[in-house]
Structure 1
């Protein structure tokens, strides 16, 4: 069994997520052991819908922040009381007993890691790309896979770079790879393909590939964000 002295703080950056947040919080309550979860922190970037009300109804802590996922997640980490931070998107659903899997990985010497990922679609193109989430290479990482990291390591590596309005997850994970053993857990999170449905599968995947290439060639956060705003 996992070490009972360690607990997990789940940090969810939110912005107008009334359509999926309630379902996620209900899911978390039924797929984890309450004694392992210290708290769930919803860090809000200025929602104008029922997001805050839904979060409070499900017992989550609600924190207001400047908009921007990096800023929101850093604030959540700063306020978190758990020894392990688990960053989760509002439309990503972890597997059953995800908390036990995370705690066992940390006890095994992995100070950071993620789950494999599947999309909530039967689209063969997206299923093909999701398959690569099992590969333990930075190129195959992304925020939709969720991310756990020991709080001490998070602080040591200075957390998310707030200059990044996009790509903040991958940039941070790149630093984690250099500072710790990173574990890709064998179970799957299920994440929404809603943005692909809105924009188009091939079009969105193409632009994401260009963003990865630009970063690899040395583009900074502002150039990446300009491309994102223009094309996505």
Structure 2
């Protein structure tokens, strides 16, 4: 029986972050959980594609746009289960066991990881707690927490939309809180934008973008504000 899981990672000049991400996936390869790694590249000019090939990943090249890239990855994936990850995140050592447990206990649901930032700043702990509460209480995990679900469930909700921003919010809203569960393993993600812009300033700006999106603002217009 083939390994069930396809891991899909959209990239655009991900650089060495991708190396850390791919190295963290080793437990799933060792346990036989992972069938394939798919890198969906949006036109990188650095060594992203080289790093992907060196890791044994399948590489799909196309136009940039995270929603479009995630959708293309799912369309080309061979696994019965899909895990969508950001290239600037890496997973905790126990991630494979956590997902196997989820597959056995709640296969009808999607799952996401607990968010952790790669930073020692006290603001990082504040924002992690805020993000994890949002995911648990409101069923709104973001893409940097990963998304794991069966292909049948992915297709039932229409998959990722082809939009430049908030594609992660769109799909979890389609799933609904009742079809989402958090697993205990963590996804460690980059804090670069928060350290550059200021933790609270960036957090409140992102919250304002989310509010505008939920009120019907165009993802295309919002994407112009998001850097």
Query: Would you call these one fold, judging by a TM-score over 0.5?
Result: yes
Question: Quick one: distance in 1 between partners of 2:99 and 2:47?
Answer: 31
Instruction: Report the Cα offset of residue 173 of structure 1.
Output: 0.9
1:60 to 57, 62, 76: 57
List alignment gaps of at least 5 residues for structure 1: none
CA contact (8 A) 2:112 2:146 kept: yes
Aligned-partner SS, 2:16: coil
Indicate the RMSD between aligned Cα atoms, in angstroms: 1.9
Question: Quick one: distance in 2 between partners of 1:51 and 1:102?
Answer: 27
Structure 1 position 11 matched with structure 2 position 20: no
CA contact (8 A) 2:115 2:128 kept: yes
Question: Quick one: distance in 2 between partners of 1:18 and 1:142?
Answer: 22
CA contact (8 A) 1:119 1:126 kept: yes
Deviates more, 1:209-218 or 1:35-44: 209-218
- Could you say which residue in structure 1 is the equivalent of 2:184? 186
CA contact (8 A) 1:86 1:147 kept: yes
- So what's the TM-score if we normalise by structure 1? 0.89
Question: Quick one: distance in 1 between partners of 2:161 and 2:42?
Answer: 17
Instruction: Report the Cα offset of residue 217 of structure 1.
Output: 2.2
- Could you say which residue in structure 1 is the equivalent of 2:194? 196
Q: Deviations over 1:133-156 (max 9, x none)?
A: 443134652111111011111111
- So what's the TM-score if we normalise by structure 2? 0.90
Q: Deviations over 1:151-192 (max 9, x none)?
A: 111111111111x211111111111116x6211112211111
Instruction: Report the Cα offset of residue 200 of structure 1.
Output: 2.5
Instruction: Report the Cα offset of residue 42 of structure 1.
Output: 0.5
Structure 1 runs of 4+ aligned residues shifted over 6 Å read none
